[in-house]
Each structure stands twice: as C-alpha cells, then as structure tokens.
Amino acid sequence: MESTKIERIKELTELLTRASRAYYAEDREIMSNFEYDRLYDELTALEEETGMVLAGSPTQTVGYEAVEELPKQHHETPMLSLGKTKSREELKDWLQDKSGILSWKLDGLTIVLTYREGRLEKAVTRGNGEVGEVITGNARTFKNLPLTIPYQGELVLRGEAVITYQDFEEINGKIQDEDAKYKNPRNLCSGSVRQLNSEITARRNVRFYAFSLVSGQDKEFDNSRQAQMRFLGEQGFAVVEYRMVDRENLLETIQYFEQKVENYEIPSDGLVLAYEDIAYGQSLGRTAKFPRDSIAFKWADETRETRLLEMEWSPSRTGLINPVAIFEPVELEGTTVSRASVHNISIVKELALGIGDRITVYKANMIIPQIADNLTRSGNLEIPCKCPACGGQTQIRQMNETQSLYCTNPDCAAKKIKAFNLFVSRDAMDIDGMSEATLEKFIARGFIREFADLFHLSKYKEDIVQMEGFGEKSYGNLIDSIEAARRTNLPKVIYSLGIAGVGLANAKVICKYFDHDIEKIQNATQEELAAVEGIGEVIAGAVVAYMQNPQNREQLQNLVKELDIVIPMQAPNSQTLAGKSFVITGSLNHFANREELKELIEVKGGKVTGSVTGKTECLINNDISSNSSKNKKAKELQIPIITEDEFMEKYL
C-alpha cells in the first residue's frame, strides 16, 4: 500500500508540474483550476501521510521559471504563494481574536515595483518566486500606474496587473481568427505584460492594483497594514479594495465580496485575509512555501450535476476542431448554462467523457462554464474520424504534451470560410461588404477557391446580383471595395495569409527585417526568422512551414499578381527618426488619419506608441491647449506637445 502511495505522489508531482509550466510559462491550460486544486490537495495529503516530498514538488515550489526572452532578476524578498482554504470557519479560526484586512485576490500577473526619488525605476514579474522577468518598459504603459510619486525615498511594493472583462471582450472581439482568441483575461494579461514590444502592452489596457507594501525607506506605519494601504493610495496607486474585519464581522464581509464578484469588472478568484498587526504577522514566520501572516480564501465553486447530451465539434481556420460539451441546462451563479468548452482531446480523455454521463459543472472564477468532474466516466465518447464540416479525415496531433483534433482536408469548407474571413478583415485586406455569410455563399457556389479569386468576382456578376441580399448597388459597392484593396502593403498581405501566430504587428517586424521583399520572406530559413526580434522559434517555424508548402507558394504568387504592393522607400539617410518614440492624438490636417502618419514615422525608423511615457520624444496634437489625459501626462513628464505642422517642420 505504501509503495502505491509513493507512486501516486510521483505521478501527481509530474502531472501538476506540467500543468504549472503550461499555465505560468506558456500561457495555456492543460487542466481546469478545479482539477488542479483537487489534485494539489490530494498530493498535499499524501505527502503529509507518507512524510515523503519529492524534490521539485509543486507543494514546495512557487510558480515556474522565467521565460528566456526577457531579462531575469532575483527578488530581494522571496515572493511566496499563499496557503488557501475554501472554508469560512477555517478562516475564522485562522484570524482568531485578531483584526485583519480582507481584500480581493485578483486573477492577473503579480508585479514588484521599485521607486527611487519619486520615479519608477524597476518592474519585475513574480516569475518562480525567486527570479522574475524585468518588464519595466511595459509597466510604464499600464493605464493607471503613476510613473512619479510624491514620496522620494526608496519604495518597494507588490500588486496585480490585470485586464478587465470588458477590455478582454473588446480585444477578443477584434480578433477574427477563432484560434487566436484568448481563453481568459489572465492569459491575455500575462501575454500582454511580458511582451517584448511595449507598444503592444499599451494597446491592451493593462491596469495595476497595489496589494502590499514591501518596504518604505525611513517611513513608519505604526505597525498597521491599513496605514500602509492608505499610504499607497496617497502616492497615486490604485489599491485593491479591502475591508477591515474581525471575528465578528468576517462572515458578513465575505458575503459582501461574494455578492459583488458576480458583477465585478476585474477577474478575481477569491479573497486574501492578512493580519492588521504587521509585527504579529511577521513573528509567525513562514513555511517552505507560505507566509503565515496571510491566507487566501478561494470561492467554493458552486457545482451542479447534469447529463452530457452531446459533444459539438467546431472546426476552425487552422483545422483545429474544438470540442464543446452540450448538457442539460442548469442554474449556475444566477444564470442558465448548457454548454462548456472542453478545450482539447487530452481533457476529453482525462475526464473519460461519454454521451449520457452524469457530470458536474461549475463556473471558473464564477464566470466561465467548465466541467468539474465526470461521475460516470464511461469513456465511450467517439472522437470523430471525419470533419463535421467537410467529411474529410481527422487526425489527433500532440503538441506541447497536449492532444488536439485536426481536420486534414486542405479544402475543408470551414477552414476556407474562416481563412477568407481573416483575409478580408480590416487589419488585413480590408474588403467592405464581404461578410462571413457572403463568403460562405461564394465558396459554396465555387466563385472563390483561393485568395486571388476574390479579385475576379466580376466574372459572376449576373449570378451575384440575383443572390439574396444583393443587387446592382450592393454588387457595385463590393467590387469597388475589392478594387480599392488591390493597393496595399506587404505587412497586411503577410498577416492576411493567416499563418499561425503571425499578427499584424509581427508581420510588420518581419517585413521590415527582410526589406519588404516577399521573396526573401518566402525563402527565409527558420534560423533567420527566429533571429528577428520578437518572433522566436514557434512563429518562425509556422512561417517556414507555410512558405515551403508548394500549394501555398503557388497561391501566394497568384495573389501577388493581383495586388499593387506599396514598398516604403528606405534610402540610406531615410532613418532620421530611428530611436525616437512618438504619440499621436486628435484629428490631423495633412494626413488622412493617424495610421497614415504612423506608417510614415515607422518608415523613417521611429515608433508610435499609445501612451505618453518618459521615453516619448513628443506628443503630436493639433489642440495643444486641450485638457486631454495625454496632454496632462505630457505636461506632467515635461514631454513637448507639438502641432502637426511643427512636427513636419522639425522631423520630416
């Protein structure tokens, strides 16, 4: 029996380590939070029972190792995880007769900030608790983070970088490719904070909420954690919402947060309770992993038992077929739910799903429906061997230890519709009037088989004007939009191809590196592409795989013949704005829009960001006297505010 328990410890240690690596270092999930917590608790109990803890056990380590792309730095004070409970009575027993601070446990990315002489000097992610990633440039773009503060001594604090549900929905809504959409705000925030290009971070509306003060040089707080929180608020930081509690009002205060979380705009996966008496909390010391002055309270997930009715298999542009569980409707957290994404084949197998099984479902962070457990575990679910959209053969592929289902038919209708939908989208070829429904009709009738065919739709005028929703005027508008789309630039063309992982920003970087020469890009090796800043091995591999496919090369050549690709002129002395960063706001007089001016600045080697920082060369705004937030920030940082005419005279 003892050997069986030891084997289970080894199995759980390896499984939870892989899940932690996926979550913290790779921004993906191979199991639900519910399942992770259940297995973690099982491992903890087995370790206590047997007295055996393996080296590298997730109960003894914190987070995961920092990724390679960003500079690393050791934390002066280790960043430990928190012990946790889902029991309100345990929380009361932990607090005893002391007073405490109860606050949100926000679900984002923990950051350590250091200020010296009133200025932000350094921002470092939590990483593995001992070593984090330096993201100072990105932190300067956080929407609500003060770059300068009144306090002039050295100040070190911790907080959570988060993205609100509203911003998450808006950002995901702009992504045409279903495969590229983010699963939850936490993953989006993690990817945004750890970008190599701070301009991307600035566009993501990342916010920072302080939750603890690590040290304040020559500053006394009368042994009060609440005084520390007030001090941070006085310095201009958004401080996580908190309430003072004692044994008498603790349960009532938990209920307050519980009612509020249903409509709270910031992702939260529970609460944190900390002793108000700083000295008392510090006197308790720490375990190998947890501090004893605070504890996390995780919401006891409301689960409902229901019956699995069917599994919907949803094909996407890349051929990935996503399993979506359809079950008998149940009430969860005040709403009726009847479907939940199962994410991949690995999770289908882990849950041993079968039609008719009794399953339990919950809402992750009280928001996203998930399957918690399968009570029946029949394992009789048939993985489709044919694509539900085209009838083509499917294949289970394993990547990064995760099995997923793919359609192998290159002519799959679902792939084509999603691919064409990306191609005509605004950031790609920008063809107005070409909805997904219209594309579906054109594909079904054989009007379009590859991208170049879109530029020959005039051959089918008689058929199109007779189609429902079309007429002479609609047809004319569509053809005009198609003709206008012929004149474009290479980054938009590369992005429109739908290569996995290549967004418009990456496409711009690649095109600039290869001198906007499409042949150089087509013939680039994986090593050459991986050397491009911000690209890396995975994206490089995807580009090479796409370009080396004979059918893709032929279709790209056909497409290029239809286009007038504008190549930016880059004479030897044209990089006059290299190393300079600009911000543009307001309306313009000499340019059609801000995007046109931005492209001109980029051609000359400069950068355009969304937020004014200490590194901004100048803010371009024709309304210099306005009280806009960008003007205020520029004045605060003593960044010049100049008009469009002044910019042209000085820099162009």
- Catalytic positions are 105
Residues 168 and 185 sit within 8 Å (Cβ to Cβ)? yes
Cα–Cα distance, 360 to 407 (Å, whole number): 30
CA distance 399 to 386: 21
Is the C-alpha dihedral spanning 593, 595, 596, 602 positive or negative? Answer: positive
Integer Cα distance of 614 and 581 in angstroms = 10
Residue 320 near residue 345, CB atoms below 8 Å: no
Q: Specify the amino acid at residue 596.
A: E
Q: Are 73 and 120 in contact (CB under 8 A)?
A: no
Say which amino acid occupies 605.
G
CA distance 640 to 634: 7
Q: Determine contact, residues 281/293, Cβ cutoff 8 Å.
A: yes
Pick from 388, 400, 412, 396: nearest CA to 348: 396
Which phi-psi region, left, alpha or beta, contains residue 534 (left: φ > 0; alpha: ψ -120 to 50)?
left
Rounded Cα–Cα distance for residues 616 and 557 (Å): 40
> Is residue 40 within 8 Å of 23, Cβ to Cβ?
no
Give bridge partners of residue 124 from the DSSP assignment: 112, 134
What is the C-alpha end-to-end distance of the chain, expressed in Å?
78
The CA distance from 603 to 613, in Å, is 22
CA 67, 72, 74, 78 dihedral sign is negative
Q: Which helix (H) or strand (E) holds 553?
A: helix 550-561
Alpha-carbon gap, residue 442 to 369, rounded angstroms: 36
Residue 262: CB atoms within 10 A of its CB come to 12
Which residues, 6+ apart, have CB-to-CB distance to 242 below 8 Å?
A: 101, 102, 103, 104, 226, 229
Distant-in-sequence, close-in-space partners of 324: CB < 8 Å, separation ≥ 6: 311, 312, 313, 314, 339, 340, 341, 342
322 membership: H or E segment, kind and range = strand 320-332
Distance CA 355, CA 338 (A): 14
Q: Residues 431, 481: contact at Cβ < 8 Å?
A: yes
Q: How many C-beta atoms lie closer than 10 Å to residue 363's C-beta?
A: 23
Residue found by looking up tokens 């960008």 in the block:
630
**555, 450 Cβ separation under 8 angstroms:** yes
State the pairing for strand pair 155-162/109-116.
antiparallel
